[in-house]
A and B are shown apart, each in its own frame.
Chain A
């Protein structure tokens, strides 16, 4: 990798300042599990890397009323093994348990994953399907407003994710069809049903790994499930291949088909 200035601020305010002063070439680093491989391949050349790992209060899990709040620097393994997460949103713990491998999960963080918005990452599906709220050092952003396209988010320059708050659904499940080589999602479908008393009620379904523009909501599947929450109700429903990615592992047609299958399996798993 190219060399860079390394900073490890102890506070969020210092991190924001450093990010500001680094200008366009500054990069935030959380767990580094995506950034470091990118740097190793010389696909990015930041002038400065600002390591958020020194900011202690960014990690942690809190149950707050009918929501689970996860600090941006909480690792995947912490989420996967959290009793609070498992008790409230088991699907989220299971999703975290399926990211990368154990070593990656010991380092990788939810904040890093979401800020990067890799189209094949798992967390964006949970954020979108669970209608999470992303809190930054500047504001709160609704999930539907957050993901803007491949590797693009609503985050502004200088903005740092501090936590993600997930409303507790009545039922939820995430089913992933992993890329056999990288283990990223070829298709991952997160299905969540909220009771009428929750955040507006209804069913939200988010798909990762397949969309040309990154994670997206499968509205037709949502509508069908809202009327009848069963795998049968969505038989044959899947987004058209024309809107999906194809690569050497899975054609767009195959991905389209898989979305339907994974969605059905997620509904079945959600119970």
Chain B
């Protein structure tokens, strides 16, 4: 079985996986970080989005072995201790979540989208989130949250 070595949320981890193991399975099942979710099997919904080397990717569409040597950030690694990341705080303030299932992926995508772009427009946010499906919120408040979160991140 291949071994993968990763840095996940700042901590070095090592795991033996089958080659067919997806990054999301490694994260959820072997590392026990269940904040990253699986909502579909065709790489559409974005519930599984994490950052690999700083970029948002769908952890259901990357083999764990492909991520060998990478730095991975999951939703659990976003807040600074008890202090929420500005994007998390914006989602809370603007009611950008309901059932919470798509939320981790949505927030991870939003953080990547907003990085370096404090003044996103509504259109940019809506287009930038096309890879994340939410069934609860109708997106209205998610858009408000991301606009505010991007500002709070300051780019």
User: Residues of A at under 8 Å CB distance from B?
Assistant: 1-6, 8, 32-33, 36-37, 39-41, 49, 51, 53, 77, 100-104, 106-107, 182-183
Contact = CB atoms under 8 A, between A and B. Distances in A.
B43 interface: yes
Interface string B46-87: 100100000111101111011010000000000000000000
A32 B130 contact: no
B65 A6 contact: yes
A51 B66 contact: yes
Given A102-B112, A103-B56, A104-B58, A37 B66 contact: no
Given A6-B2, A8-B65, A106-B57, A101 B20 contact: no
Given A1-B20, A49-B19, A102 B62 contact: no
Contact of A102 (B20, B41, B42, B56): B56
Contacts of B131: 100-104
Contact of A103 (B41, B65, B109): B109
A28 to B, nearest CB: 13
Given A102-B109, A102-B130, 10 more contacts: A36-B61, A37-B61, A41-B41, A49-B19, A100-B131, A101-B132, A103-B57, A103-B61, A104-B131, A107-B61
A1 B64 CA distance: 13
A100 B43 CA distance: 10
Contacts of A4: 19-20
A33 B22 CA distance: 12
B61 A33 contact: yes
B44 interface: yes
B130 A101 contact: yes
B109 A32 contact: no
B118 interface: no
B35 interface: no
Nearest to B48: A103
B128 interface: yes
Contact of B42 (A37, A77, A103): A37
A182 B40 CA distance: 13
Interface in B1-51: 2, 18-20, 22, 41-44, 46, 49
A4 B49 CA distance: 25
Contacts of B63: 6, 32, 36, 49, 51
A263 to B, nearest CB: 24
Contacts of A39: 20
Minimum-distance CB pairs A-B, first 10: A101-B131, A6-B19, A106-B55, A3-B20, A103-B58, A103-B131, A1-B20, A101-B130, A36-B61, A37-B43
A135 B16 CA distance: 37
A7 B45 CA distance: 29
B107 interface: no
